[in-house]
Chain A
Amino acid sequence: MTSDDEVRLAEGFVTGDEAALRAAYDRWGRLVFALGLRSLPDRVDAEDITQQTFVTAWRGRHTFDPHRGTLPAWLLGIARRQVADRLRVLQRDARLQRVLERTEDPSAPEPSADRVLDRIVAADELTHLVPQQRRVIELAFYDDLTHAQIAAVTGLPLGTVKSHLRRGIERLRTRREVEGAASRP
């Protein structure tokens, strides 16, 4: 989906086109679901968050302002609030439970909510790279190959490998700036 397609989709969404809601769900539902899966203890909670995010977004679609951010950034903002609310409820229950059981909280330090969101946005952007570029990035990121080794493995010229790496990382960075945790107050 190009950014033009995204703009078109956002226009349809705001004007109440149900097909645009479905398209937004198909494109960004997995981002919202991933945020739920990685922030909440239970899968059912993640499914709930996904449902509530799209229901809330659709009912409040007239409040989406394309001049202040992209549709996915707006959806993720709603999802983050849903997750935070759900966590508060869970923590209250857990605190009550602890008081009842007189036990200590054994939970280990977890990555911040911002970091979790940024990882999800990165994972999503990786899957939207052109196949060849994605292959090069994955060999560098997850197989720890040097650019020379990647060139040898893929048969691509060194310059192409270096340019894929640079542009791939730039895309991840831009996407994070637009939709990641730092994109909102």
Chain B
Amino acid sequence: MTTIEKPTKKKEPVLVVVQLSGGNDFMNTVIPFTEGIYYDNRPLVGISEDKSLPFTDTLAWHPSAAAFKRIYEKGNMAIIQGVGTEHASRSHFRAMDIWHTCEPEIVATEGWLAKVIREIDPGSENPVTAVNFGRGLPRALAAPGVTATSIGDLDNYGLMSGIQLQEERNRDLQIFQRMYTPAIGSGQVMNYLSQTGQNVLSGAEMLAEAPRMYKSKVEYADNPIAKALRDVVRVHTAGLGTRIFYTSHAGYDHHAQEVPGHAKLLTELTDAIEDFMQDLRDHDAAEEVNVLIFTEFGRRIKDNGSGTDHGTGGGAFLIGENVKGGLYSEYPSLAPADWVFGEDMDFTIDFRSVYSTILNQWMGLDPVDIVGGQFEQFNPYTKTMV
């Protein structure tokens, strides 16, 4: 049963971005289980055919990704194989930076999603147009003059959240609001601080309602990604006009102990996504939501005796009721002759093609300025909201 009022106006498309930090091992997520070369190169981390979960003649899911297998079989998941870019970097930071700013060759300060916020809400009227769950704002959402909200803990969000007594906190917030009143002649930086402080207050006020309105039958697991995705549902169903959600799932840098480590993360991630989709459907709020799961790079084909080192081509996933399920682009070639740097599988699709497709077809925006050029699109949607 839900008490949430149905939005009367047309539903606006929403994008949920899930960042897998550290470099998810795509090859061990979507496994080419018929290739001898996979097993030859991965004596330690390779997953045997009998353990994996085949879903095509040549590809199988990691045994801990059973939830993804179910979503895929429902036809709600596009697997984009071999995502990368020509100027890839093996540095986590640099690679992530490229994904966040769409600038492979220079260091840029404007995040791609910040540019989207600017398009959607040019006057910065809604402080929760974009919401990140995690500590600190990811670079993708940051740009001068763009407002985005970052939430560490939705149940305890906002300024002075450490003040235990609600009465004291409320009074502090009132004083804060008075102290952060923009005043003539106080200087540009002081005014900017005032404005930012006021935005934080109004954003927090809006968000405070979300947990109170939410009821759900879905029981999420107790881990950070499940909690973050549940928070996405809570804010989304509160109807605050949030169009972009962002969260990260960390720990994919499996140089060592990959076998147990990767299995644990994939269980957390895939179960959380499945619960999330169910929760959205229960709230009649799934149709307008598209999830993008990405990582900064894939990992090398050869294992190092304990894990795998940073590689090139990775993989991304699009999930949603309106996604045309299937495989997109091509699985990176395993043939040694095609390896780059003599050890990496090459990418087969530029990450900016993925962004352009989402921006253009899902969000209804012109992607050229946001991603910095024309990139070939593919067609992963059965229906769009725009």
Please say whether chains A and B are actual partners in one complex: no
B-side residues, CB < 8 A to A, are: none
